[in-house]
Chains A and B, each alone.
Chain A
Amino acid sequence: MPSQPAEIVHELREACMSCSLQELCLPRGLYGRDLERLDALVERQGPFHEGDHLYRIGDKFGAIYAVRAGSYKSYTVDSEGREHVLGFHLPGELLGLDAIYPGHHVCNALALDTATVCVLPYAQLSSLASQISGLFTQIMRLMSKDISDTATLAGDYTAEERLAAFLVGLSERFRLRGYSPNEFNLAMSRRDIANYLRLATETVSRVFARFEKDGLITVDRRDVRLLKLPQLHTLCEAMGNP
């Protein structure tokens, strides 16, 4: 069962049309009537609170979600009860793509802070996509990006390379959203980062401390300031473009 939101936010009748994340999200490349038709499909839900699940493993699949505000963590739990973090989702990024094939959700989506999402009922979305080629193209692009992002971590890379790539990747994602690429506050814990990068929690902190000592970054709780972004890029070159 999809979890019930605290309240349903029916803002302006416009959703996509006045959204600052248009270029990153599904509406990219759509105009006029096409954009209106997508807009009519979208329903915003929220605010959800830190710790609220958007969906859980096994929930019947009915809609794709786009993060509107806040951030999410997607994760599975193995047979021994251990959590495996699959990814972090920032505003403009989609959740639920991996549920299309099986017809039910195969991971849990958890709000890491106060969050709002846009709900895109799948049947209507795919019907619209078959009529609007721009929408179809954008959905394909976003799915492809999802696949290539996941592949990056599969290789045999050092802890330094992994964390550098993580920070560089976040920097780019923030930059695309109009935020500073050099200073950001992250909602995930060190434990989540470690899990995602397949490192021990202590190792993540050691590498953060090492980067700080070497003058590459400064860290204050979960605030990170990148002082030498080019050097971080160099560090994770071997991993290809993160």
Chain B
Amino acid sequence: MQANSAISAIGFDPYLVRRYDVAGPRYTSYPTARQFGSAVDTAVYQYAVKRSNEDFIPSALSLYMHLPFCKSPCFYCGCSRLITSRPERIAAYLQRLYSEIHLQGSHFDRDRPVRQLHLGGGTPTYLSDQQLADLFNILRKAFTLEERALREFSIEADPRGLTPQRLQILANFGFNRISYGFQDFDPQVQEAINRVQDAQQCLELIGAARAAGFCSVSADLIYGLPKQTEAGFTATLEAVAGARPDRVAVYGYAHLPQYFKAQQHIHNIELPNADLRLRLLQRAVEVLSGHGYEYLGMDHFALPDDELVQARTNGTLQRNFQGYSTHAGLDLVGLGMTAISHVGDVYAQNAKTLDCYYAALDSGHLPIERGYVMSADDCVRADVIGRLMCYEELPFDPIERRHNIVFLEYFARELVALQPLEADRLVRVETDRLLVLPRGRFLRRALAMVFDAYLPREKTAHTYSRVV
């Protein structure tokens, strides 16, 4: 189709992308989790929740539940997960999760409904129907759930073994958004990552989800995987785009085998080099935009009538730990091992090991281990970075009003640091706003990094994945 004009409209310039290809955070939060420390414990978090209840219009809630179990290991995975085939392990985890839900619920005022809910993992679809039923019963008792029409309840699904009947059951529970991990349909790649799944079956699940009542279906792909080729990935892209999911997420594989044991099965020599990585991303942009998908930023593409695109139009698009989200301003409650909460100015993260998670809940308290209390400066920068990650325009006035600053003075140093990016036409600084130019839309992270107060002190740049 009109790939070339679409490319120039999107502004993907491979030479620029290569130049700004430095390691950096994904800004699903600011400050990032690397700043979390022991200043936040259960008491600090509970006080933050209490204070948030006292806002004149306390926000509704967004719940994230982490279900870390998987039947088999996918080698690329950098998520927190545990491989098991023993149902009693899952039952043991759920028992603690239920008491955590009950505990968390007791702190929030009941006129704050759960508007957004996301089940992630691991493999959330590992749970049986009965376990899901129990989960929802517990949720309903502990929290007020938003009325169905206003809910955004999403679940991550492993397509292997998933049937239309199961999808219907999930929809009946109230899930209305789903994301499928497709990664790549090339059989060579699938073998190299230990994630073999039938392309046809996968694609049929897109329509099946819609038939079951899901209003948004996302297909997740990964570029930069071992043995990936331009031809193979293009075929996957064409097949997925042809099935028209509402969203396509195209993640770049982050090879950090020193942190993620499973990745040690992947050999450096099998990985695409920087050139090929770039070409794979370029193909994704070409194919998807050729099929009418809009580029949201970072890794996400969506059809024009998808709610994320509409949220961007309405100014309610934001970024949180799940990626892009339609709801700005909801307090986030993290449930399960490693989950992160964000209430008011406080980030709080749950225990990272099963033992610590269990120990806390078995003694009747929340499993919060670390976190961060945002300073006034953090709040300003979080606003700026959040805006840069989601929108084309950053007007100064709302930031100035909200934080009582004069933007051009407060960020005088950052504006100097932006000059090379301005010269490369990624961004333009005007008297009353910043504009992210088309060439900057693929390099939002590089723009955000300019405003990140913690970056200059970071010496270990290799712990972040590359911008592309």
- Residues of A whose CB lies within 8 Å of any CB of B are 186, 189-191, 193, 201-202, 204-205, 208-209, 212, 219-222, 224
**B side interface size, CB within 8 A:** 10
Q: Contact check, A220 vs B402: say whether CB atoms are below 8 A apart.
A: yes
A189 CB contact (under 8 Å) in B54, B57, B402: B54
Q: Contact check, B58 vs A190: say whether CB atoms are below 8 A apart.
A: yes
Chain A residues lying within 8 Å of B344, measured Cβ to Cβ, are 221
Q: Contact check, B54 vs A190: say whether CB atoms are below 8 A apart.
A: yes
Interchain nearest-CB distance for A51 vs B (Å): 12
Q: Contact check, A202 vs B111: say whether CB atoms are below 8 A apart.
A: yes
Is B15 part of the contact surface with A, judged by Cβ < 8 Å?
A: no
Q: Looking at chain A's contact residues, is the secondary structure mostly helix, strand, loop, or mixed?
A: helix
Chain B residues lying within 8 Å of A191, measured Cβ to Cβ, are 53-54
Is B259 part of the contact surface with A, judged by Cβ < 8 Å?
A: no
Q: Contact check, B56 vs A193: say whether CB atoms are below 8 A apart.
A: yes
Is B147 part of the contact surface with A, judged by Cβ < 8 Å?
A: no
Q: Contact check, B57 vs A219: say whether CB atoms are below 8 A apart.
A: yes
Q: Contact check, A204 vs B56: say whether CB atoms are below 8 A apart.
A: yes
Q: For chain B, residues 352 to 404, give those with C-beta under 8 angstroms from any C-beta of chain A.
A: 402
Q: Contact check, B54 vs A205: say whether CB atoms are below 8 A apart.
A: no
Interchain nearest-CB distance for B200 vs A (Å): 48
Encode B399-420 as 1/0 by CB contact (under 8 A) with A.
0001000000000000000000
Q: Contact check, B111 vs A221: say whether CB atoms are below 8 A apart.
A: no
Question: Closest A-chain residue to B402, C-beta based?
Answer: A220
Selected A-B contacts with CB under 8 Å, 19 pairs: A186-B56, A190-B54, A190-B55, A190-B56, A190-B58, A191-B53, A191-B54, A201-B111, A204-B56, A205-B56, A205-B57, A208-B56, A209-B57, A212-B57, A219-B56, A219-B57, A221-B55, A222-B54, A222-B56
Interchain nearest-CB distance for A87 vs B (Å): 18
B109 CB contact (under 8 Å) in A186, A201, A209: A201
Q: Name the residue among B56, B58, B402 with the largest chain A CB count within 10 angstroms.
A: B56
Q: Contact check, B56 vs A224: say whether CB atoms are below 8 A apart.
A: yes
Question: Closest A-chain residue to B54, C-beta based?
Answer: A189
Chain B residues lying within 8 Å of A208, measured Cβ to Cβ, are 56-57
Question: Closest A-chain residue to B112, C-beta based?
Answer: A205
Interchain nearest-CB distance for B256 vs A (Å): 38
Question: Closest B-chain residue to A163, C-beta based?
Answer: B56
Interchain nearest-CB distance for A216 vs B (Å): 13
- Seed contacts A205-B57, A209-B57, A222-B54; 11 additional CB < 8 Å A-B pairs: A189-B54, A190-B54, A190-B56, A191-B54, A202-B111, A204-B56, A205-B56, A219-B56, A221-B55, A221-B56, A224-B56
Q: Contact check, A222 vs B57: say whether CB atoms are below 8 A apart.
A: no
Chain B residues lying within 8 Å of A201, measured Cβ to Cβ, are 109, 111
Chain B residues lying within 8 Å of A204, measured Cβ to Cβ, are 56
Chain B residues lying within 8 Å of A209, measured Cβ to Cβ, are 57
Chain B residues lying within 8 Å of A220, measured Cβ to Cβ, are 402
- Distance between Cα atoms of A205 and B113 in the complex (Å): 13
Interchain nearest-CB distance for B328 vs A (Å): 12
Number of contacts between A and B (CB, 8 Å)?
31
- Distance between Cα atoms of A205 and B57 in the complex (Å): 5
Interchain nearest-CB distance for A182 vs B (Å): 12
Q: Contact check, B55 vs A222: say whether CB atoms are below 8 A apart.
A: yes
Interchain nearest-CB distance for A162 vs B (Å): 14
Chain B residues lying within 8 Å of A189, measured Cβ to Cβ, are 54
Chain B residues lying within 8 Å of A219, measured Cβ to Cβ, are 56-57
Interchain nearest-CB distance for B81 vs A (Å): 36
Question: Closest B-chain residue to A221, C-beta based?
Answer: B55
- Distance between Cα atoms of A59 and B108 in the complex (Å): 35
Chain A residues lying within 8 Å of B55, measured Cβ to Cβ, are 190, 221-222
Question: Closest B-chain residue to A204, C-beta based?
Answer: B56
Chain A residues lying within 8 Å of B56, measured Cβ to Cβ, are 186, 190, 193, 204-205, 208, 219, 221-222, 224
Q: For chain B, residues 38 to 75, give those with C-beta under 8 angstroms from any C-beta of chain A.
A: 53-58
Chain A residues lying within 8 Å of B111, measured Cβ to Cβ, are 201-202, 205
Chain A residues lying within 8 Å of B57, measured Cβ to Cβ, are 205, 208-209, 212, 219
Chain B residues lying within 8 Å of A221, measured Cβ to Cβ, are 55-56, 344
Interchain nearest-CB distance for B8 vs A (Å): 39
- Distance between Cα atoms of A204 and B57 in the complex (Å): 8
Interchain nearest-CB distance for B39 vs A (Å): 20
Question: Closest B-chain residue to A223, C-beta based?
Answer: B402
- Distance between Cα atoms of A204 and B344 in the complex (Å): 20
Interchain nearest-CB distance for B320 vs A (Å): 18
- Distance between Cα atoms of A219 and B54 in the complex (Å): 13
Please provide the 3 A-B residue pairs with the shortest distance between their CB atoms, ordered closest to farther.
A189-B54, A202-B111, A221-B55
Chain B residues lying within 8 Å of A193, measured Cβ to Cβ, are 56
Q: Name the residue among B53, B55, B109, B344 with the largest chain A CB count within 10 angstroms.
A: B55
Interchain nearest-CB distance for A113 vs B (Å): 12
Interchain nearest-CB distance for A9 vs B (Å): 26
- Distance between Cα atoms of A224 and B401 in the complex (Å): 12
- Distance between Cα atoms of A220 and B399 in the complex (Å): 13
Q: For chain B, residues 171 to 190, give those with C-beta under 8 angstroms from any C-beta of chain A.
A: none
Chain B residues lying within 8 Å of A190, measured Cβ to Cβ, are 54-56, 58
Question: Closest A-chain residue to B52, C-beta based?
Answer: A221
- Distance between Cα atoms of A224 and B55 in the complex (Å): 11
- Distance between Cα atoms of A208 and B59 in the complex (Å): 12
- Distance between Cα atoms of A191 and B406 in the complex (Å): 34
Chain B residues lying within 8 Å of A186, measured Cβ to Cβ, are 56
Question: Closest A-chain residue to B329, C-beta based?
Answer: A220
Chain B residues lying within 8 Å of A224, measured Cβ to Cβ, are 56
Question: Closest A-chain residue to B59, C-beta based?
Answer: A221
- Distance between Cα atoms of A160 and B57 in the complex (Å): 15
- Distance between Cα atoms of A212 and B59 in the complex (Å): 14
Chain A residues lying within 8 Å of B53, measured Cβ to Cβ, are 191
Q: Name the residue among B54, B57, B111, B344 with the largest chain A CB count within 10 angstroms.
A: B57
Interchain nearest-CB distance for A140 vs B (Å): 36
Interchain nearest-CB distance for B171 vs A (Å): 30
- Distance between Cα atoms of A18 and B111 in the complex (Å): 47
Interchain nearest-CB distance for A55 vs B (Å): 24
- Distance between Cα atoms of A219 and B58 in the complex (Å): 10
- Distance between Cα atoms of A20 and B433 in the complex (Å): 38
- Distance between Cα atoms of A212 and B329 in the complex (Å): 15
Interchain nearest-CB distance for A218 vs B (Å): 10
Interchain nearest-CB distance for A111 vs B (Å): 16
- Distance between Cα atoms of A186 and B53 in the complex (Å): 15
Encode B86-128 as 1/0 by CB contact (under 8 A) with A.
0000000000000000000000010100000000000000000
- Distance between Cα atoms of A109 and B57 in the complex (Å): 26
